[in-house]
Chains A and B, each alone.
Chain A
């Protein structure tokens, strides 16, 4: 038997074209007679538009048209996650602001010209007269009396108030009766997703046929088709969305954006193709941001360390408008994970979505779950310090025991499978935890600041059962479909509704099909990203592509296999139940020499010269798949840091990640996802932070000011894994795209606080930059001096 392709770390098939510059991105597309769009954006965070004078711009060289909000006759930009029972306010979000702008970067006009240069030159000539209004950038402050209001009909800027509770009275009682309560105010700072490829869109409309094609940077082209069809009034069978090559998204290419709508609208209006690609500055201003919470969180425990209840009140900035999935992120994707991997009896999350005069927020890698795991793990470390317990022992004491098929937690979720002790044990062993603590003790005696952070986590992904989508207000399903099509020559095309954009499913999905059917992996092509070529699906996000789309694929491949078995039985003149399969060969049990290969059967099925009675020609199967539950990957991460006393610089010395995503289809790709996830998560802890000033100006408006983490900031990661299959997935697999981000932010945060423990530092705002760490050290020193004197 040859080495099994499932589980093999073969090279990513995507990489040669990506590395050699042969990939075709939206901005590479060229059509004759294309007009180029430039967007005139608000320089104010909050202002009334008094007038817009487009005359000079219209007269500029090469300009075909200039449009403002008054010209638009399409529907507003939609919000598609209408969280129920939360008094959700959904004020209109016009694709171009008409009367008021609500963040720096809000579009007010577009210029269409023969070249991008001409469009940019003319955009500078559009004269907008603004009456500036007060800005408010902090979501907590925005709810206070007297804060500037963004919308007449939205008191205190509160877009929604959502509560998930295991029982308010019981939670209250648990806190009253607790021996110990630890609390913290946590600021989850705003982050800029920074996909390598900025957003871009191009559209072509054929007014004779009524057909519209939109090329755009989308993680979910079918959602784009659905939403843009509704906004523009184009029947979706006349609308094709193409997003074949997308250079990263991290959630920022889920939303349906005003800019994309404007490109399509203008292409139809002017009868010429229209193209737009954002600059990095536009990307930072007008592409969604992530996180931005102010949280008040508490944990109740007994004095022996038994953790009883957890609760949080979250102010989540929505920005100036509700982005496509914005309201779902700090609610459904956040509040339901407050139990993490622990046996809490009670849990409550109150999440308040708040309009602020900032760029809208939406899903960013992990989307709500990193914030949840952060607050739980932060409080656990705080409790350990309070009880003078080892943080690892405290965790171990409270872990949910191993389970194979379902565990109900206090938030109402049923985790699918888990063995949290196993990942903890493995991480501690890899780290040499006892030795590390001794080393830390020695370092402290030498005056060095060494810290260790340990996180045990679970996450919810593989979104998800469509019934849950409906119940939580998601304006769509969350199932997937796919087609496996085999040609006469035995080559395979796999059409999927999800849209991988860096995650490597062109490789791993080929591995799934190869493993199921025996075709060589190089004979299998995975087609995605074109709504005309692929069956319906809801997209790539929420670590759902392999859990949902991959499940559909495995089942479709099994249908193909069943047909092959029936055909082989016919050709070998045997009963179907007597047919055996091994490595792409079908044969009568006991006589492997006389066999039909999968390629033989593909040919015979396609030419259809000799099919059994009632069998249709062709070798193709399609499969719809709606998952019965989410999947819950889990793991344990451990970080070792050293803080430079003089400069406040944090050196990440070791990082250990033990993750369990069930059976790994391709361990190299899994490792890549973990590496990238960890880097992004640590980016939040130490480097990244979108900063606005009080006037709502984005101070970190370029890559000169916003610190994207780089390889030289990290040690080599030490990875381990365990394998606990999901009981409900046909392949047992879970998602791995976001776990690194979910676990690592708090792991490194806790490690830094652990390093500074001898000085009495308990909290530092993220990102924990050298100036902030230095300041905390200085203040602690001053306090210690004062304490000694008094």
Chain B
């Protein structure tokens, strides 16, 4: 009830190395935009002893496009991503997802890195980085390592990121020649995704050469849908193949689909099918 955090230490890092050192000592949490962490602290759901503010590390707030890939610094805000011409060109689904996160205040503060590291099951970007085949670059006391998005999300609010590590950049292969879309059914109050679907299609001669499909919001951890991908691949993307793929998606999600006041399980599962079809049609410009 309090809406006031329990007491904590605050330190501000001036470099990535310093941030890692600060994180290494004690029960510490990295503070980026703070739009997930601070509400959790206010409700005393999170009570870290120490906050390491990485918000001033401007080198992590950059978007670069080169050699067929897009590299986004972890501290880049949703608003910056939504407005970036590079992101709009190489990963329009991410720009579109970022433009619909929360409200302007959240988008101006919340960061891509913070969002992915937090791994809220109802968050939008995880679906896009999964479908896009992104690579997440992490830095720890032992040095740098890179993890495929497919291996990064491990469960409800759980990722492969270790407590002493920082996610510093996200790399996405350019999708400029693919058909992409992110659609969502927002929670009416919070605007988190009750269902969020990202599809990335390779279309040749009106046939789907390959498809990547990821789902967020509906299940405890954002996930790819191999069944839907398989159903789409090789299809003509007509109504029948869409319906079959939607059914495959819903069957695959099965009872993993979450159940709550705003989207009971049967409704949510059905909306996965509806929004999947809408995502494909939107990717195809229909």
Q: Which A residues form the contact surface with B (CB < 8 A)?
A: 38, 41, 116-117, 120-121, 123-124, 279-282, 285, 646-648, 687, 691, 699-700, 703-708, 769-771, 774-775
Distance in angstroms from B36 CB to nearest chain A CB is 12
Give the CA-CA distance A700 to B43 in the complex, in Å: 15
> B2 — nearest CB in chain A belongs to which residue?
A120
Closest 8 CB pairs of A and B: A279-B3, A120-B2, A771-B267, A707-B189, A707-B188, A704-B190, A120-B4, A646-B274
* Cross-chain contact B190 with A705 (CB below 8 angstroms): yes
* Partner pick for A704 among B6, B185, B189, B274, CB 8 A cutoff: B189
Give the CA-CA distance A629 to B213 in the complex, in Å: 66
* Partner pick for A279 among B2, B7, B187, B189, CB 8 A cutoff: B2
Q: Which residues of B contact A705 (CB under 8 A)?
A: 189-190, 261-262
Distance in angstroms from B24 CB to nearest chain A CB is 28
> A120 — nearest CB in chain B belongs to which residue?
B2
* Cross-chain contact A647 with B189 (CB below 8 angstroms): no
Give the CA-CA distance A647 to B185 in the complex, in Å: 9
Give the CA-CA distance A708 to B189 in the complex, in Å: 7
* Cross-chain contact B270 with A774 (CB below 8 angstroms): yes
Tell me, yes or no, whether B271 is within 8 Å of chain A by CB. yes
Tell me, yes or no, whether B104 is within 8 Å of chain A by CB. no
SS of B interface (majority)? loop
Distance in angstroms from B267 CB to nearest chain A CB is 4
* Cross-chain contact A770 with B267 (CB below 8 angstroms): yes
* Cross-chain contact B261 with A687 (CB below 8 angstroms): no
Give the CA-CA distance A123 to B190 in the complex, in Å: 29
Q: Which residues of A contact B262 (CB under 8 A)?
A: 705, 769, 771
* Partner pick for A38 among B2, B190, B261, B267, CB 8 A cutoff: B2
* Cross-chain contact B3 with A775 (CB below 8 angstroms): no
> A771 — nearest CB in chain B belongs to which residue?
B267
Q: Which residues of B contact A279 (CB under 8 A)?
A: 1-3
Tell me, yes or no, whether B254 is within 8 Å of chain A by CB. no
Distance in angstroms from B2 CB to nearest chain A CB is 4
* Cross-chain contact B1 with A281 (CB below 8 angstroms): yes
How many interface residues does B have (CB within 8 Å)? 21
Beyond A120-B4, A281-B1, A282-B1, is A703–B189 a contact (Cβ under 8 Å)? yes
> B1 — nearest CB in chain A belongs to which residue?
A281
Q: Which residues of A contact B189 (CB under 8 A)?
A: 703-708
Give the CA-CA distance A37 to B264 in the complex, in Å: 40
Instruction: Give 1 or 0 for each of B157-188: 1 = CB within 8 Å of chain A CB.
Output: 00000000000000000000000000001011
List 14 A-B pairs, Cβ < 8 Å.
A38-B2, A117-B4, A121-B7, A124-B2, A124-B44, A279-B1, A280-B3, A646-B274, A700-B261, A704-B187, A705-B189, A707-B188, A707-B189, A708-B189
Distance in angstroms from B94 CB to nearest chain A CB is 23
Give the CA-CA distance A222 to B43 in the complex, in Å: 36
> B263 — nearest CB in chain A belongs to which residue?
A771
Instruction: Give 1 or 0 for each of B1-37: 1 = CB within 8 Å of chain A CB.
Output: 1111011000000000000000000000000000000
Q: Which residues of B contact A706 (CB under 8 A)?
A: 189
* Partner pick for A116 among B4, B6, B263, B271, CB 8 A cutoff: B4
Give the CA-CA distance A687 to B191 in the complex, in Å: 13
Give the CA-CA distance A394 to B187 in the complex, in Å: 39
* Cross-chain contact A281 with B267 (CB below 8 angstroms): no
* Partner pick for A774 among B6, B43, B44, B267, CB 8 A cutoff: B267
* Cross-chain contact B3 with A41 (CB below 8 angstroms): no
Give the CA-CA distance A285 to B2 in the complex, in Å: 12
* Cross-chain contact B267 with A285 (CB below 8 angstroms): no
Q: Which residues of B contact A123 (CB under 8 A)?
A: 2
Distance in angstroms from A298 CB to nearest chain B CB is 32
Beyond A41-B1, A279-B2, A279-B3, is A769–B188 a contact (Cβ under 8 Å)? yes
> B188 — nearest CB in chain A belongs to which residue?
A707
* Cross-chain contact A691 with B4 (CB below 8 angstroms): no
Distance in angstroms from A55 CB to nearest chain B CB is 20
Q: Which residues of A contact B4 (CB under 8 A)?
A: 116-117, 120
* Partner pick for A699 among B261, B270, B274, CB 8 A cutoff: B261
Q: Which residues of B contact A646 (CB under 8 A)?
A: 274
Beyond A647-B271, A704-B190, A774-B267, is A281–B3 a contact (Cβ under 8 Å)? yes
Give the CA-CA distance A41 to B1 in the complex, in Å: 9
Give the CA-CA distance A120 to B2 in the complex, in Å: 6
Give the CA-CA distance A646 to B104 in the complex, in Å: 29
Q: Which residues of B contact A648 (CB under 8 A)?
A: 267
Give the CA-CA distance A41 to B2 in the complex, in Å: 11
Give the CA-CA distance A639 to B34 in the complex, in Å: 42
Q: Which residues of B contact A691 (CB under 8 A)?
A: 261
* Cross-chain contact B3 with A771 (CB below 8 angstroms): no
Instruction: Give 1 or 0 for each of B185-224: 1 = CB within 8 Å of chain A CB.
Output: 1011110000000000000000000000000000000000
Q: List which B40-74 residues lie within 8 A (CB) of chain A.
A: 43-44
Give the CA-CA distance A771 to B263 in the complex, in Å: 6
A116-B4, A120-B2 known, 5 other contacts, Cβ within 8 Å: A647-B185, A647-B274, A648-B267, A700-B261, A705-B190
Distance in angstroms from B45 CB to nearest chain A CB is 12
Q: Which residues of B contact A775 (CB under 8 A)?
A: 267
Q: Which residues of B contact A708 (CB under 8 A)?
A: 189
Distance in angstroms from A777 CB to nearest chain B CB is 11
Q: Which residues of A contact B44 (CB under 8 A)?
A: 124
* Cross-chain contact A771 with B188 (CB below 8 angstroms): no
Give the CA-CA distance A708 to B274 in the complex, in Å: 26
> A646 — nearest CB in chain B belongs to which residue?
B274
> B189 — nearest CB in chain A belongs to which residue?
A707
Distance in angstroms from A118 CB to nearest chain B CB is 10
Q: Which residues of B contact A282 (CB under 8 A)?
A: 1
Give the CA-CA distance A321 to B7 in the complex, in Å: 36
Q: Which residues of A contact B43 (CB under 8 A)?
A: 281
Give the CA-CA distance A707 to B263 in the complex, in Å: 13
Give the CA-CA distance A687 to B189 in the complex, in Å: 9
> A709 — nearest CB in chain B belongs to which residue?
B188
Give the CA-CA distance A124 to B6 in the complex, in Å: 10
Best-buried of A38, A41, A705 by chain B (most CB within 10 Å): A705
Give the CA-CA distance A124 to B2 in the complex, in Å: 9
Give the CA-CA distance A119 to B175 in the complex, in Å: 54
* Cross-chain contact B2 with A771 (CB below 8 angstroms): no
Best-buried of A279, A285, A771, A775 by chain B (most CB within 10 Å): A771
